[in-house]
Amino acid sequence: MAAQILLAHGVGTAIDLVDQPGVDGAPTLKVPPTEFLMFVFGPNATDQGEFVLDDDGCKRIMARFAERGIDLHGDWEHQSEQPIEKLPPKGAPASAWFKPAVRSSGLWASDVRWTPDAYAQIQRG
């Protein structure tokens, strides 16, 4: 089964979830991925327009990642992109932490570590 994960600026990517049989008649659970493709090399359509991912862009992304020295995050419904005054009282909690990785197909989220809430939500479908 493929699920849709929305990425920054309205880009969606289909990811495969592995079925994990439930124990003692419990429903089948979906296992969230530990990596997924975020952007392909070449054109990527977003709700803010199209951008092209190329080798130079990947080098700059990876250099900035190395410079900052912290993992990147995913959040619920892109709340972290909202102005602070529009955030809910709890802020913009992360749903996952990951490291970017450049591969032959494009830019990937690798070593994805889901928060317990996000992991449970993905498992429920």
Q: pLDDT tens across 30-44, in order?
A: 788 899 999 999 999
Confidence of residue 3 (pLDDT cuts 50, 70, 90): very low
What was the pLDDT predicted at 71? 95
Count structural domains, the chain: 1
Give me 96's structure tokens.
Answer: 């996952």
**Angular region, 63: left φ>0, alpha ψ -120 to 50, beta rest:** alpha
Give me 103's structure tokens.
Answer: 């591969």
What was the pLDDT predicted at 19? 59
- Per the DSSP assignment, residues forming a β-bridge with 114 are 96
Residue 10 has pLDDT above 70, yes or no: no
Confidence of residue 111 (pLDDT cuts 50, 70, 90): very high
Residue 9 has pLDDT above 80, yes or no: no
Summarize the confidence of residues 110-116 as an average pLDDT: 95
Residues sharing a CB contact under 8 Å with residue 125, sequence separation 6 or more, in sequence order: 3, 30
Summarize the confidence of residues 19-35 as an average pLDDT: 70
Residue 65 has pLDDT above 90, yes or no: yes
Domain span including residue 32: 2-124
Q: Which residue has better confidence, 112 or 84?
A: 112
Full-model pTM: 0.74
Q: Amino acid identity of 46?
A: T
DSSP string, 99-115: EEEEETTEEEEEEEEE-
Residue 88 has pLDDT above 70, yes or no: yes
Summarize the confidence of residues 61-83 as an average pLDDT: 88
